[in-house]
Structure 1
Amino acid sequence: MISAEDIVQEATDNLAALQETAHCQNGHPIEEGDLICMQCGADAADATIPPHHTTTPLMDTGVITQIGHWKILRRINHNDSIRERYQVQHQQSGQQGILTLYTYGAEPDMAVYQVIRNLPREHVPEILETGRWNARAWQVAEEMTFGSLADSATTGDFWQPEEIPHIVRELGSALSSFAEHGLRHRNLRPGNLLIRTRHPLDIVIIEFGSACLSEFDLDIVSPLEITRYSAPETLAGGVAAASDWWSLGIIVLEQITQGSCFENIHPHAFLIQVLANGVTLPEQLDPHLRLLLRGLLTRDRHQRWQWPEVQAWLDGRPVTVADITHPASDNQHVGITLNLQRYTQPAMFALAAAEQHHWQQALELMQRGTLVSWAQQAGLDTALLTRLQQAIELADLNDDSRLMLVLKLLNPNMPLILQGRL
Structure 2
Amino acid sequence: MTEPPRTADRAGTVPPTEHEPFAAPTEHEAEAAGATGPAPDPRGDADALPPALAARYERREVRKRPAVPQEAAVLRVTDRQDGTDCFLKWYHPGHRPDPEVWRILRDRPADGPDALPHVLRLHRAEVRDGHPFDTAPVCGETHLAAWSQDRPGPAPLPFVHAVVRQAAAALTALHRQGIVHRDLSPANLVLGSLDPPGPDLTVIDFSDAVHAPRPRFGAASEWVGTARYQAPEAGLARQLIHPPADWWSLGMIIAELAGGRHPVRHLTADGARAQVVSGYLDLSAVTDPRLKLLCRGLLTQDFEYRWGAEEVAAWLAGGTPATARRPADRLTGDPLADDPLADDPLADGRPDGPGAAHRLPVFPFAGREFTEPRLLGQALAEHWETARRALARRGTRTELVDWLRNAAASPRYGEGDREELTALLPAFTARRPPGPADVVRLLNWLAPTLPPVHRREPVDPAEGLALLAERAAGLTTGDGDPAAADITDELLDHRILPLLDARRGGSGLSRLHQQWAAELERWPRLVAALHAEFPELRRRRRTEPAVRRPDARLRAAVLWTVAAPEAVRRFLAHQAARQRELLPAPVPWYTWLLGDEGDPLRLLLAHTLALDARDDAEQAALRQRIREEEARTVAGFRREDAFIRSLEHRTVLAWAVGGGAALTFVWIFVLGITDALNWAPQETVALAWIWAVPGAAAVFALELWTAQRIGAPCYHPDRSLAGLVIRGAERPARRARRSPLAGALALAAALGVLVLTLRWAAWVWPAATVSALGWWTWHRHRRWTGEHRRLRDLAWRGELRGLLVPRQRRDGSRNGARPQDGGRTQQEDGRDAPASQERRDHG
Question: Is the radius of gyration larger for structure 1 or structure 2?
Answer: 2
Counterpart of 2:26? 33
Question: Which position in structure 1 is the counterpart of 2:127?
Answer: 132
Name the structure 2 match of 1:110: 99
Alpha-carbon deviation of 1:174?
1.0
In structure 2, relative to structure 1, the CA distance for the partners of 1:302 and 1:64 (3 Å cut) is: same
Counterpart pick for 2:217 among 220, 228, 244: 220
Indicate if the aligned counterparts of 1:375 and 1:385 stay in contact, CA closer than 8 A: no
Residue 39 of structure 1: aligned partner: none
Shift of 1:123: 1.6
Q: Which residue of 1 aligns with 2:61?
A: 74
- Label 1:346 to 1:98 Cα distance change in 2 as closer, same or farther (>3 A): closer
Q: Distance in 2 between matches of 1:25 and 1:313?
A: 30
The verdict on how the C-alpha distance between 1:108 and 1:93 changes in structure 2, with shifts beyond 3 A counting, is same
Q: Could you list the per-position Cα deviations for residues 99-126 of structure 1 after superposition, in whole angstroms to 9, with x for gaps in the alignment?
A: 0011133211221122223153642223
Task: Render the CA deviation track for 1:220-276: whole Å, top value 9, x for unaligned.
Answer: 223441322112222222122222111100111111232343445544233223223
Instruction: Give 2:685's aligned residue.
Output: none
The 2-side partners of 1:26 and 1:245 are apart by: 20
| CA shift in 2, pair 1:278/1:333, >3 Å | closer
* Rounded Cα–Cα distance in structure 1 between residues aligned with 2:143 and 2:310: 27
CA gap of 1:382–1:351, structure 2 versus 1, over 3 A, is closer
Q: Which residue of structure 2 lines up, in the alignment, with residue 184 of structure 1?
A: 180
Query: Following superposition of structure 1 onto structure 2, how do residues 403-414 of structure 1 map, counting pairs within 5 Å?
Result: none
Q: Which runs of 5+ in 1 are unaligned?
A: 1-22, 37-43, 356-361, 398-408, 414-422
Partner of 1:17: none
For residues 282 and 201 of structure 1, do their structure 2 counterparts lie closer, same or farther at Cα, with a shift above 3 Å needed? same
- Of the three residues 150, 157, 162, the one matched with 2:158 is 162
* Superimposed CA distance per residue, residues 121-152 of structure 1 (whole angstroms, 9 cap, x where no aligned partner): 64222311122244231001111342221222
Q: How far apart, in 2, do the equivalents of 1:304 and 1:346 lie?
A: 14
| Of 310, 313, 333, the match for 2:312 | 310
Higher helix share: 2
Q: Relative to 1, partners in 2 of residues 1:215 and 1:279: Cα closer, same or farther, differing over 3 Å?
A: same
Question: One-letter code of the match for 1:213?
Answer: H
Query: Cα distance 1:351–1:77, how it changes in 2: closer, same or farther (>3 A)?
Result: same
User: Which piece of structure 1 moves more, 228-237 or 278-287?
Assistant: 278-287
**Residues 260 and 346 (structure 1), Cα distance of their counterparts in 2 relative to 1, 3 Å cut:** closer
Distance 2:292 2:191 in 1: 25
Q: CA deviation at 1:366?
A: 8.1
**Which structure 2 residues correspond to residues 323-338 of structure 1 after superposition, within 5 A?**
323-324=325-326, 325=348
Look up the match of 2:575: none
Aligned partners of 2:62 and 2:75 also within 8 Å = yes
Matched residue type, 2:122: I
Which residue of the partner structure matches residue 235 of structure 2?
Answer: 235
Corresponding residue of 1:406: none
1:92 is aligned to 2:74:
no
CA distance in 2, matches of 1:26, 1:221: 15
- Deviation, structure 1 residue 219: 1.5
Structure 1 window deviating more from structure 2 (63-72 vs 97-106): it is 63-72
- Name the % identity: 21
Structure 1 residue 101 and structure 2 residue 90: aligned?
Answer: yes
- Distance in 1 of aligned mates of 2:364 and 2:305: 31
CA distance in 2 between counterparts of 1:244 and 1:34 reads 23
Structure 1 residue 212, shift from structure 2 partner: 2.0
Deviations 1:172-193 (A, max 9, x none): 1111111222222111111211
Correspondence for 2:191: 195
Q: Which residue of 1 aligns with 2:337?
A: none
CA contact (8 A) 1:127 1:141 kept: yes
* Alignment check: 8 A CA contact 2:116 2:173 kept: no
For the Cα contact (< 8 Å) 2:73–2:91, is it kept in 1? yes
Structure 2 vs 1, CA of residues 275 and 72 (structure 1 numbering), >3 Å: closer, same or farther?
same
Q: Residue 200 of structure 2 aligns to which amino acid in structure 1?
A: D
- C-alpha deviations, 1:267-307, integer Å up to 9, x for none? 42332232232533116621111111111111222221112
Q: Identify if the C-alpha distance between structure 1 residues 164 and 145 changes in structure 2 by more than 3 Å, giving closer, same or farther.
A: closer
Q: CA deviation at 1:68?
A: 5.4
SS at match of 1:208: coil
Q: How many Å separate the matches in 1 of 2:366 and 2:302?
A: 26
Give the letter for the 1:80 counterpart: A
- Contact conserved, 2:188 with 2:205, CA < 8 A, in 1? yes
Pair 1:350–1:174, CA change in 2 (3 A): closer
What TM-score, normalized to structure 1?
0.69
Checking the alignment, whether the CA contact within 8 Å between 1:76 and 1:85 is kept in structure 2 is yes
Counterpart secondary structure, 1:210:
coil
- Check the 8 A contact 2:117/2:173 in 1, yes or no: no
Distance 1:317 1:334 in 2: 35
Greater displacement, 64-73 / 281-290: 64-73
Amino acid at match of 1:205: V
CA distance in 1, matches of 2:33, 2:63: 18
- Aligned to 1:269, which of 268, 271, 285? 271
Q: Gaps spanning 5+ residues in structure 2: where?
A: 1-15, 109-113, 327-347, 402-424, 429-433, 441-454, 456-481, 484-495, 504-843
Alpha-carbon distance, 1:48 to partner? 5.3
Residue 320 of structure 1: CA displacement? Answer: 1.8
For 1:174, the equivalent position in structure 2 comes to 170
Distance in 2 (CA, whole Å) between partners of 1:65 and 1:294 is: 49
Does 2:136 correspond to 1:141?
yes
Q: Distance in 2 between matches of 1:277 and 1:316?
A: 28
User: Residue 382 of structure 1: which of 422, 427, 435 is its match?
Assistant: 435
TM-aligned CA deviation for residue 26 of structure 1? 11
Higher RCO (Cα < 8 Å, 6 or more apart): 1
1:60 CA displacement: 5.1
Contact 2:63 2:75 in 1 (8 A): yes
Bigger Cα displacement from structure 2, 154-163 vs 228-237: 154-163
Alignment partners' CA distance in 1, 2:287 and 2:302? 22
Letter in 1 for 2:103: Q
Greater shift, 256-265 or 74-83, is seen at 256-265
Cα distance in structure 2, aligned partners of 1:151 and 1:124: 19
- Which structure has the highest strand share of the two? 1
One of 320, 323, 326 as aligned partner of 2:322: 320
Deviation at 1:35, TM superposition (A): 10
- Residues 115, 28 of structure 1: CA spacing in aligned structure 2 closer, same or farther, 3 A cutoff? closer
Question: CA shift at 1:72, angstroms?
Answer: 2.0
1:410-421 → structure 2 map (5 Å cutoff): none
Aligned to 2:74, the other structure's residue is in SS state strand
User: Residues 362-405 of structure 1, C-alpha deviation per residue, up to 9 Å, x if partnerless?
Assistant: 98x987x7754356444455325689xxx9xxxx99xxxxxxxx
Q: TM-score, normalised by structure 2?
A: 0.37
User: Which of these residues, 9, 28, 46, is aligned with residue 58 of structure 1?
Assistant: 46
**Partners of 1:249 and 1:297 within 8 A in 2:** yes
